[in-house]
Amino acid sequence: MSLTRLAFLVVILAGAVWLAWSNPTMDDYIRFVELEIHRALDRLDERTSARGQRFVHEVIRTQSRQLVDGVIRPATIRKNWGLLSWYETLVARTKVVVLGVAGRFIPISGMEEATKKVERLLQERS
């Protein structure tokens, strides 16, 4: 085996080890979802009344961790493939698919549709 091939193999193995080490966990995904909820609420604040904003802040923002743990976690399936993870979550009757790789999350499908549905539901309640 040549030195170039050996170096290439070492780089590939080091990359695989790094990907495995940085593969996001379910807790990382839950934090990501909570952050996305806060972003959606920020957008919603711009379009809702003061009464609606109070509802959002008092109920949703203060209870977001419990909401995510109680609703999102049980509705999520994580497929751990070692180097990356595939998350499928059913939110507001919408399947949200997110790829977790290298400590980051990449929405694949359903994220925008689910966000719009949740925003509509919150607007109706406020």
Q: What's the 3-state SS for 79-98?
A: EECCCEEEEEEEECCEEEEE
Output the pTM of the full model: 0.78
**pLDDT band for position 101 (50/70/90)?**
very high
**pLDDT band for position 70 (50/70/90)?**
confident
Averaged pLDDT, 21-49: 82
Is residue 126 within 8 Å of 51, Cβ to Cβ?
Answer: yes
> Which of the two residues, 32 and 43, has the higher pLDDT score?
32
Average pLDDT of every residue of the chain = 84
Length in residues, the chain: 126
pLDDT tops 70 at residue 45: no
Give SS3 for 110.
Answer: coil
